[in-house]
Amino acid sequence: MRTFALLVLAAISHVAQAQTFRSEEHSFTVTRVISGLAHPWSLAFLPDGRMLITERPGRLRIAKDGKLEPEPVSGLPTVTPQGQGGLMDVALHPNYAQNGLVYWSFAGRGADGVGTEVARGKLVGNRMEGAEVLFRQSPKGTTGRHFGSRLVFDRAGFLYITLGDRGEMERAQKPDDHAGSVIRLHDDGRVPKDNPFVGRPGWKPEKFTLGNRNLQGAALHPVTGALWTHEHGPQGGDEVNVIRAGVNYGWPVITYGVNYGTGTRIGEGTHKPGMAQPLHYWVPSIAPSGMAFYIGDKFPHWKGDLFIGGLNRWLVRLKLDGEKVLREERVLHGELGSIRDVRMGPDGSLYLLTDDPNGFLARLDPAN
């Protein structure tokens, strides 16, 4: 890990002068590491110090020595950018050092429209070899909204895929529809036999949950290994949830949000038996995207805290006690623009991607 961290630091040592900010528990600097990214969506750190960065229009980029390689990675299946969808998350297999497998989510076209798909391949030079699609959302859809989608491997090696309701809220409660749910698969795309709805007539066996609106943040808790997610509410009602097998998270039957424009109630209220309450929610909305638990040593008072990006230009820190949120801090207040992704680097720094036609990657370090 130390060698990995040194490689990352060396790769970005020449960047521009940093800005300094003060939070409740740490003063920190923000350094723009890489600029000129077209709506960047996600980031993964390779063991050799390089980074993989996705751009929503459909390009997978390699950053080396603090600079983008001029040509995107080739060999990916066709990406169909549509509204909020395009090339989205990227993740390394837990055994990447042995098998070299990279996974990515993207908007793919089918006979019934466009929906989230997940593929994997081996990165060889600047090309993805042997790319294969492991999952295709079904049904797809015709809107440009609510694709999800984050990819997380748990400690047992299962792959979780977060999906949005595709802008058609009623789909989140349908058993025969992938939309508005968390998907759980083996790393090769097979359905685990112990998925909660396997063998139930009329249910998609890949589904692990239902009743989710649009999950764009997911991370494993560093102590328990549980999958935590957040999802967009409508006008208000963004949620943080702990994901558990077979749970119905309520959308659109219950929500703390209201209809856009009119402010009228959605569904039946905020509570209903058999539907989970969020661990934390926001009214008004922060439009959450990207999340990471901080487990490094550079910011000792942040250890164990949950950091969440906001498309409404926030970086939010949640201080936790188990599954209880003790307090919330807005660490950044619009200084960087819309924050699409949050990652903790192998060097112990926090990394942020901004969602903009000329977006950038920024790094947070302790201020001297």
Q: What is the mean pLDDT of each run of 10 residues along the chain (368 residues)?
A: 43 57 96 96 97 98 94 97 97 97 98 97 96 98 96 98 98 98 98 98 98 98 98 97 98 97 95 98 97 97 98 97 97 95 97 97 95
The domain total for the chain is 1
List the CATH number of the domain containing 194.
2.120.10.30
Which residue(s) pair with 307 in the sheet? 292, 317
Q: Which residues are catalytic?
A: 146
Question: pLDDT at position 7, please?
Answer: 43
- Residue 136 burial by CB count (10 A; 0-12/13-18/19+): exposed, middle or buried? middle
Across 38-163, the runs of DSSP E, i.e. the strands, are 40-45, 51-55, 59-64, 67-68, 87-92, 101-110, 113-124, 127-136, 151-153, 159-162
- Cβ atoms of 93 and 70 closer than 8 Å: no
Joined tokens for residue 31: 């350094």
The angle subtended at Cα 163 by Cα 239 and Cα 121, nearest 5°, is 130
Euclidean distance between CA atoms 163 and 137, whole angstroms: 9
Question: pLDDT at position 17, please?
Answer: 61
Q: What domain range is 102 assigned to?
A: 2-366
Residues with Cβ within 8 Å of residue 246, at least 6 apart in sequence: 196, 197, 208, 209
Which residue(s) pair with 85 in the sheet? 82
Euclidean distance between CA atoms 182 and 216, whole angstroms: 11
- Cβ atoms of 108 and 80 closer than 8 Å: yes
Residues in the chain: 368
Place of tokens 């036999």: 193
CA dist list (Å): 131 to 9, 55, 77, 116, 163: 30, 18, 7, 16, 21
Question: pLDDT at position 18, please?
Answer: 82
